[in-house]
């Protein structure tokens, strides 16, 4: 998961300055991804350079808040809309993406889930096809590797189905969207690692 999109998602909730972004980022990811303030400012200046955020006048405490631009919103929407490929995905990006999708205004979490499931299902079909074509006894090591990928994809689809079922029962509390759902996803991640 890129810090860029994480920060853009947070700014979509409203303007924030560096320390607030860092705290909110860690809150959203259940502190599974600690961030130092230097990374936040480096990322913000790149986002500003690319026209995705813009700095606002300094506040009373001397902090400079940032807000997301229309180009930033478009970039964020594209990230949410694009399924992650298994080739280049850090382990937890999908969980974090869904957690953020739930708490980011205007994101249709169900289509994020559905788009990902379609993409993962395609992967599963291709893997099965390869397995079907490799049925000589000497293909066994290769088949086991394929199996491992098959089971990972299956687990992901089961989890996505589960998310979808949970979303049917979920209605966001009035006012500010609830970060608790995002925390729940990430807390379980932490517990698994322990």
Partner 1 sequence: MNPTTDPVLDVRDVHRTHGAGAATVHALRGVSLTVRPGELVAVMGPSGSGKSTLLALAGGLDSPTAGEIRVEGQSLGELDRRRLAQVRRRRIGYIFQDLNLLGSLTAAENVALPLELDGVGVRAARRQALAALDEVAMGGLGDRFPDQLSGGQQQRVAIARALVGERRLVLADEPTGALDSQTGEAVLHLLRTRVDAGAAGVLVTHEARHAGWADRVVFLRDGVLVDSTAPLPGVEQLLTGSPR
Question: Closest separation between CB of residue 149 and partner 1, Å?
Answer: 8
Q: Strand pairing partners for 66?
A: 16, 55
Q: Which is nearer to partner 1, 23 or 167 (CB)?
A: 167
- Contacts with partner 1 by CB under 8 A lie at 85-88, 114, 117-118, 120-130, 132, 135, 150-151, 153-154, 157-158, 161, 165
Identify which of residues 108 and 161 has a Cβ nearer to partner 1 in the complex.
Answer: 161
Q: What's the min distance (Å) between Cβ of 61 and partner 1?
A: 42
Shortest distance, position 46 Cβ to partner 1, whole Å? 20
Virtual torsion, Cα 12, 164, 126, 76, nearest 10 deg: 0
State the DSSP string of 58-115.
--TTS---EEE-HHHHHHHHHHHHSPPPTTS--TTHHHHHHHHHHHSTT--HHHHHHH
Looking at beta carbons only, is 30 or 83 nearer to partner 1?
83
């Amino acid at each position: 998961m890129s810090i860029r999109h994480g920060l853009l998602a947070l700014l979509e909730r409203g303007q924030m300055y560096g320390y607030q972004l860092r705290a909110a980022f860690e809150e959203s990811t259940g502190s599974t991804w600690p961030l130092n303030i230097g990374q936040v400012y480096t990322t913000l200046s790149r986002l500003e350079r690319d026209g995705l955020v813009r700095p606002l006048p300094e506040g009373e405490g001397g902090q400079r808040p940032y807000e997301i631009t229309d180009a930033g919103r478009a970039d964020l929407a594209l990230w949410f809309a694009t399924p992650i490929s298994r080739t280049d995905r850090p382990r937890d990006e999908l969980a974090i993406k869904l957690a953020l999708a739930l708490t980011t205004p205007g994101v249709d979490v169900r289509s994020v889930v559905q788009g990902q499931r379609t993409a993962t299902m395609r992967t599963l079909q291709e893997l099965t096809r390869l397995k079907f074509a490799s049925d000589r006894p000497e293909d066994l090591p290769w088949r086991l590797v394929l199996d491992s990928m098959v089971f990972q994809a299956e687990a992901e689809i089961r989890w996505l189905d589960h998310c979808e079922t949970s979303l049917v029962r979920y209605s966001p509390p009035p006012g500010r969207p609830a970060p608790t759902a995002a925390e729940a996803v990430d807390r379980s991640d932490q517990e698994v690692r322990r």
